[in-house]
Amino acid sequence: MRTPLRIGMVGGGQGAFIGAVHRMAMALDGDFALVAGCFSSDPANTRSTAASLGIAPERAYASFEAMAAAEALLPEAQRIHAVSIVTPNHVHAAPAQLFLASGFHVICDKPLCASLAEGETLAAAVARSGKQFALTHNYTGYPMVREARELVHSGALGTLRKVYAEYLQGWLSSDLESSGQKQAAWRTDPARSGPVGALGDIGTHAFNLLEHVSGLRVEQLHAVLHTFVPGRRLDDDDMVLLRFGGGASGVLCSSQVCFGRENGLSLRLFGTKGALEWQQENPNQLQWTQADGTLKVLTRGGATTSAAARSLTRIPTGHPEGYLEGFANIYRAFARSIRGESDIDAAFPTVHDGLRGLRFIDSCLKSSAASAWHPLA
Amino acid sequence: MRTPLRIGMVGGGQGAFIGAVHRMAMALDGDFALVAGCFSSDPANTRSTAASLGIAPERAYASFEAMAAAEALLPEAQRIHAVSIVTPNHVHAAPAQLFLASGFHVICDKPLCASLAEGETLAAAVARSGKQFALTHNYTGYPMVREARELVHSGALGTLRKVYAEYLQGWLSSDLESSGQKQAAWRTDPARSGPVGALGDIGTHAFNLLEHVSGLRVEQLHAVLHTFVPGRRLDDDDMVLLRFGGGASGVLCSSQVCFGRENGLSLRLFGTKGALEWQQENPNQLQWTQADGTLKVLTRGGATTSAAARSLTRIPTGHPEGYLEGFANIYRAFARSIRGESDIDAAFPTVHDGLRGLRFIDSCLKSSAASAWHPLA
Amino acid sequence: MRTPLRIGMVGGGQGAFIGAVHRMAMALDGDFALVAGCFSSDPANTRSTAASLGIAPERAYASFEAMAAAEALLPEAQRIHAVSIVTPNHVHAAPAQLFLASGFHVICDKPLCASLAEGETLAAAVARSGKQFALTHNYTGYPMVREARELVHSGALGTLRKVYAEYLQGWLSSDLESSGQKQAAWRTDPARSGPVGALGDIGTHAFNLLEHVSGLRVEQLHAVLHTFVPGRRLDDDDMVLLRFGGGASGVLCSSQVCFGRENGLSLRLFGTKGALEWQQENPNQLQWTQADGTLKVLTRGGATTSAAARSLTRIPTGHPEGYLEGFANIYRAFARSIRGESDIDAAFPTVHDGLRGLRFIDSCLKSSAASAWHPLA
Amino acid sequence: MRTPLRIGMVGGGQGAFIGAVHRMAMALDGDFALVAGCFSSDPANTRSTAASLGIAPERAYASFEAMAAAEALLPEAQRIHAVSIVTPNHVHAAPAQLFLASGFHVICDKPLCASLAEGETLAAAVARSGKQFALTHNYTGYPMVREARELVHSGALGTLRKVYAEYLQGWLSSDLESSGQKQAAWRTDPARSGPVGALGDIGTHAFNLLEHVSGLRVEQLHAVLHTFVPGRRLDDDDMVLLRFGGGASGVLCSSQVCFGRENGLSLRLFGTKGALEWQQENPNQLQWTQADGTLKVLTRGGATTSAAARSLTRIPTGHPEGYLEGFANIYRAFARSIRGESDIDAAFPTVHDGLRGLRFIDSCLKSSAASAWHPLA
């Protein structure tokens, strides 16, 4: 008889966005039971969040340190297997290292940390721990993103030449952070977000997606990080020219001041004999221009989709899946890795993807400051 | 501290489609814990399904009768609050009546039953029982369907004149039932589906959707039920002309032989001063032609959407929701009704919607046989 | 040296819509020079229209009878080769017959005439005359409509089962004819339009398109003709169920009260191994569901389009063509027929298509009156 | 009585693409009669082209010099009013200057010339001549481009922040010029195209479009011009970062190696309170995100479109217009200017737009060579 893995959560109290997403994603397949948490630095918030989630009061902890310590002392049949970290960026590294050191698997929101140095320390900690570490670059969990990756790797596009990645939002077009909106407040605060705003929040998603799907590696970049909204302390708009190993080139744009755009992440790849386009807001489709020049619209679960893509779907084609299912695919793969189910497709983004994202941020900062091309190691 | 409601399931063993959908839908919000089930008429299937779902072996029942009897005898703190019935159509009425009579709430897949007579008996049983009864016409759970309904009721379209509803699929374009495919087999078998095929399987969804959104009532119809695939014993294609009270008219088409169509449910409404269009395969959008003739594309969670529609969303606009979330909205409303949370929007399809669907089927059968218009009471 | 064919026009004075369309369509390829006309029953309108078009005053005629007589007396090197008839429906038959009898080719707007009896007389006149007669069912001139026809005829769809044709407009949602709008006035006036409104104006286009593309013939139909706008004397909304020879069935809807719809003509065909969809408002694309279930989006001029479709395009793919080019294809084919250029694809709709449309109207009227199925011979 | 303006053509012989487009564009409204031409450097081609167009043999000239001389000697009632220059880029300046000096109005294809120096000389010649000079940046002739410009100028978008312009084609993905394809041959030949390939051919269109619509002026740019196809001598792919006066920024990409893309010109503008998107391949629509965050889809000729945009349409909304009509709008405005019809909207791109494009090319070349930002005066 299969029982769910027990999991705890750090962050995700009332008023948060991404914590609730993680909880729905982990619930969908019954792989996890959420049994513990430190949901906020405010103990009252933690207690009420725990109550609303049916978590026993004694496992609603006042600090993540207390949680790690107490859970480690519980009998094996009760203590958590893993922890989900959904705090602002500056509170990723410390709990992640502590829980790893305490013997727990970790799944953590992106970006990995608030600085490259922190990230490198954390990557070393993951290596030492022997535990699973997943980073929720959730967009790689979409079935048609996987399908795109399979098509590229199969050679269907020939040699890649051009990549256009963009992630455009409009919700920070005005000075929302001054209104007390929590999401806006921490994402535009260097103390909590780290040295970048839009670039870390969404640009790293686009970067991860493009390298994941294309298999290309950025070698040089020229970034322009800019802040449009007066008074804002972090970039809210980025343009990055890219040169890849092998000769391809591209453009990555991330912006949170593109008025009216909701969650406009898209990827377009052009090769010597084919092209692909995927848009996050219409995620069940993938547009494939074939070698004869005709456009095929592939649908999630469709007759010709790959086994890899189909392994990430739950319901028949035509019944739309969305953001939560893509997110849940990361959790499901994480669960399978914890269970040691190595015979299935257990790929998920790891600490190495996280480090790569931090190096991308670092390189963009240096390029933008110098107004010049900069390498990405 | 909030604890999940305990629920059991009838049907949904390995090889079934809709059972897994119900389980994901009930899991999403943590409102239900699935603790018991009779998943199949084959006890081995029931046992293995139960094991895969983490259900205790002693609550994996050999028959729904055994389940109802045993659960009723459990202490209140252990026994189920409700049962989910996800069997083929001919096994809806009996378990529903038994569980209601045994004191349990019931949520049941559609169509309500295999015959109008059965449905009327069941509706009486629901009334007698005082228990909640939900019917999973899940498409009414989509936020933008709710938004459409709100717009119609607000008068934004003026007086409705024309309604076009269609539900086109292609998966039964060939004789799939002869291949041993389980879904095709029971859905084309009069003994398990009842007197209609496509009309019951998908036509009733379209019918429910159009009456739900438009607020109109069909008074007369002219149906053509047809079977295209040789040897098939139930209709696989339907065309129905509609006359509504108040003078509007429309067309409803449901077909499972529209080659290549995946799950093409759509609704278009035209009034004296506005129009709406919604397509299930792109459910996060609603197209509204305003009184000045311009087209506005409303998005789920967008700035101008109604409170009612927003109450059915979980994540921000631009992060696509899909089929499972719409389904989960039915389960969430059902849970709220069970808990007596009457201060929130607890609307869900009931046995009356189910009866209405059976009357629609009955009227279509009579119209088609007579090749003439027939009333729908 | 190639010189343009000389053409005259009956109808199309100031305030008309379709006359200007015919003039642009005939101008596009330089096949015709417009040198004469009786543009209106109002001689002043005829004179000013002629002047604005650079037509010599002596060839601006007070009546079509005067025009036919005078042109026939001109030297062959000056007189017109053909006449274009763009009057309201009730003034098609008389000038057409007169010009044919006077030795001129005729191209005429649709529907053919205001009654089936008139149409049969005209068809006989065409046969007697030995002259070319083209009917501007212009939508068959679109390249991707031709491509659809080629695909059907090639067997790419297998045996056709279902056809959905619709033509929805909204411009007559209100009582526009009372405002003095000329187009609305004559199109809703039985004396000028004949016995039907929307069915003749747009329903016949949809009917012609579906038979043209599918190669099917309607054998039985059940029509519901209805008038929504109070005081209007002709139908403004039609629903027609169709049975074709060979067992296919379908639905044709034409309406001019579908609020906000501009010129929503579309065609969908489903066969045993493929499907096609075309929409007039996006005419450069054709959606083809192939036998393996995947959707291919064919574009006008694209690599895989047929020679027949390519013969109807003027500019490269990606440079949108529209309504006028489709219309011009009818004129170009008409010109080629007049010139006897039989080695090229000179297909255009003829008097037989017009007669078929009148029979469709006649059958719909009888079916709607009887509320019963009626044959279409 | 209105008579057409007489026009001659330089270039556009058999095998050319854009010459035929110009001829259809000028024919559409009857404003011009093509009566003379030097269609090719090959006299046989000129003669046969002239014959196929119904041009008198004596006005089919062996050289543009001969044409200018002979036409100037004709009586005023016979000689051309204007000349249309549709040769490859290196043969724009000389005939333009000669015809201007000979007293003729000129309409010329883009880019203006093959070098900035040539362009400046030509601009001076235009100023001296007192004649009309139009440059066929035809995309500004689309009605919904005009609508976009009107909306920006009305303040509907607030202050512009971001502009994304792209023009992606795929037809030069392979070494087509080696196959003898004429279009590919001259467009990739520095001797005929000038110092840039894709940037001049399509990048200047995108640049003109973005400045025309936005009203912004590029002040600084960072360009990367690249050649992907081995052996090709001019750029086939460009990426340009842009900084505008007033603080806006943007990206312009032009490429002819984006496999499968047909004619993918698009423009997206984001301001402080609104956004616009227009795509050339779907030119009858304009997507406007309004200040309240909702998306409105404006259609050509729709109820709320501006008078300026409506002045560029010929047929009712829903009847698609395309590339040729946009092109024809440039010709119509040119004709009106020649006729001195100053009471109407006679805007068309001029020699100043052409010079601006040449300066853009020049600045991109210098930026790309230096791998650094460069001013655009």
Contact between B168 and B263 under an 8 Å Cβ cutoff? The reply is no
> Residues A44-79: pLDDT tens digits?
999 999 999 999 999 999 999 999 999 999 999 999
Do C224 and C363 have their domain in common?
yes
Q: Specify if D195 maps to a domain.
A: yes
Inter-chain CB proximity A259 and D241 less than 8 Å: no
B260 touching A, CB under 8 A?
Answer: no
User: Which amino acid is residue D140, in one-letter code?
Assistant: T
| Tokens at B143, concatenated | 């936020």
pLDDT at B150: 96
How many Å apart are CA A266 and CA A163, to the nearest integer?
Answer: 11
pLDDT at D108: 98
Do A187 and A47 have their domain in common?
no
Q: Specify if B343 maps to a domain.
A: no
Do C292 and C185 have their domain in common?
yes
Do A238 and A160 have their domain in common?
yes
Q: Is the ipTM of this complex over 0.90?
A: yes
Sheet order of strands, B82-85 included: B32-38, B5-10, B82-85, B105-108, B133-135
Last residue of a domain, one of C75, C108, C131: C131
Inform me whether the pLDDT recorded for A11 exceeds 60: yes
Strand runs (DSSP E) across chain B, as ranges? 5-10, 32-38, 82-85, 105-108, 133-135, 160-168, 218-226, 237-244, 249-255, 264-271, 275-279, 285-289, 295-299, 374-375
How many Å apart are CA A276 and CA C60, to the nearest integer?
Answer: 58
pLDDT at A346: 54
Helix (H) or strand (E) holding C362: helix C351-370
- Of A8, A154, A201, the closest CA to residue A95 belongs to A8
Chains A, D: CB contacts within 8 A come to 104
DSSP output for A11-28: S--TT-SHHHHHHHHHHT
Last residue of a domain, one of C76, C98, C131: C131
Closest CB from C251, C257, C272 relative to B253: C251
SS3 D38: strand
The residue of chain D with its CA nearest to that of A161 is D228
Q: C23 contacts in D (CB within 8 Å)?
A: 30
Provide the shortest C-alpha distance from residue D148 to chain C (in Å).
19
Kindly report the number of other CB atoms within 10 A of residue C288's CB atom: 24
Closest CB from B27, B302, B320 relative to A281: B320
How many Å apart are CA C333 and CA B243, to the nearest integer?
Answer: 44
CA dihedral C126, C132, C136, C141 (to 10 degrees): 140
Q: D322 contacts in C (CB within 8 Å)?
A: 284, 319-322, 325
Mutation target for B interface from C226, C259, C286, C287: give the one with most B CBs within 10 A. Answer: C259
Inter-chain CB proximity D255 and A162 less than 8 Å: yes
Do D217 and D110 have their domain in common?
no
Contact between A242 and A252 under an 8 Å Cβ cutoff? The reply is yes
A23 touching B, CB under 8 A?
Answer: yes
Inter-chain CB proximity B292 and D299 less than 8 Å: no
B255 touching C, CB under 8 A?
Answer: yes
SS3 B239: strand
Q: Specify if B330 maps to a domain.
A: no
Mean pLDDT, chain D, whole residue set: 96
C128 touching D, CB under 8 A?
Answer: no
> Residues D127-163: pLDDT tens digits?
999 999 999 999 999 999 999 999 999 999 999 999 9
Contacting chains of B (3 CB pairs or more, <8 Å) are: A, C, D
DSSP 8-state class, residue D87: S
Provide the shortest C-alpha distance from residue C54 to chain D (in Å).
5
Do A182 and A158 have their domain in common?
yes
Closest CB from D294, D297, D304 relative to B304: D294
Do A83 and A177 have their domain in common?
no
> Per the structure, how many domains does chain A have?
2
Average pLDDT over residues C292-319: 93
Do A144 and A121 have their domain in common?
no
CATH number at residue B355: 3.30.360.10
A316 touching B, CB under 8 A?
Answer: yes
Domain that holds residue D70: 5-131
pLDDT at A303: 83
pLDDT at D16: 80
- Of B166, B361, B162, B366, the closest CA to residue B244 belongs to B162
Q: Specify if D80 maps to a domain.
A: yes
Inform me whether the pLDDT recorded for D269 exceeds 80: yes
> pLDDT tier at A17 (50, 70, 90 boundaries)?
confident
Inform me whether the pLDDT recorded for A345 exceeds 80: no
- Of D278, D127, D128, D283, the closest CA to residue D214 belongs to D278
pLDDT at B17: 85
Q: Which residues contact C330 (CB under 8 A, 6 or more apart)?
A: C25, C107, C134, C136, C137, C138, C140, C141, C348, C349
Give the whole-number percent of chain D exceeding pLDDT 70: 98
Inter-chain CB proximity B298 and D297 less than 8 Å: no
Mutation target for A interface from C284, C294, C298, C306: give the one with most A CBs within 10 A. Answer: C294
> pLDDT tier at D3 (50, 70, 90 boundaries)?
confident
> pLDDT tier at D14 (50, 70, 90 boundaries)?
confident
Do B148 and B123 have their domain in common?
no
Q: Specify if C263 maps to a domain.
A: yes
Contact between C19 and C86 under an 8 Å Cβ cutoff? The reply is yes
Mean pLDDT, chain A, whole residue set: 96
> Residues D189-240: pLDDT tens digits?
999 999 999 999 999 999 999 999 999 999 999 999 999 999 999 999 999 9
Provide the shortest C-alpha distance from residue C137 to chain A (in Å).
29
Is pLDDT larger for residue B7 or for residue A15?
B7
Omega within 30 of 0 (cis) for the link into D111 = yes
Q: Specify if B98 maps to a domain.
A: yes
Strand runs (DSSP E) across D142-244, as ranges? 160-168, 218-226, 237-244
SS3 B327: helix
> Residues A242-260: pLDDT tens digits?
999 999 999 999 999 999 9
> Sign (positive/negative) of CA torsion D148, D154, D157, D161?
positive
Do B147 and B119 have their domain in common?
no
Do A159 and A107 have their domain in common?
no
Contact between B153 and B215 under an 8 Å Cβ cutoff? The reply is yes
> Residues C180-230: pLDDT tens digits?
898 999 999 999 999 999 999 999 999 999 999 999 999 999 999 999 999
Do A203 and A252 have their domain in common?
yes
How many Å apart are CA A220 and CA A252, to the nearest integer?
Answer: 13
Strand runs (DSSP E) across D156-300, as ranges? 160-168, 218-226, 237-244, 249-255, 264-271, 275-279, 285-289, 295-299
CATH number at residue A100: 3.40.50.720
D182 touching C, CB under 8 A?
Answer: no
Q: Specify if C216 maps to a domain.
A: yes
Last residue of a domain, one of A102, A131, A160: A131
pLDDT less than 50: residues of chain B: none
Contact between C268 and C164 under an 8 Å Cβ cutoff? The reply is yes
User: Which amino acid is residue C194, in one-letter code?
Assistant: G
A305 touching B, CB under 8 A?
Answer: no
Q: Specify if A346 maps to a domain.
A: yes
> pLDDT tier at D346 (50, 70, 90 boundaries)?
low
> Residues B83-142: pLDDT tens digits?
999 999 999 999 999 999 999 999 999 999 999 999 999 999 999 999 999 999 999 999
Inform me whether the pLDDT recorded for A277 exceeds 90: yes
- Of C194, C207, C272, the closest CA to residue C233 belongs to C194
SS3 D109: coil
Q: HEC string of C288-306?
A: EECCCCCEEEEECCCCCCC
Mean pLDDT, chain C, whole residue set: 96
B304 touching D, CB under 8 A?
Answer: yes
Closest CB from A292, A295, A303 relative to C293: A303
Closest CB from D27, D264, D318 relative to C28: D27
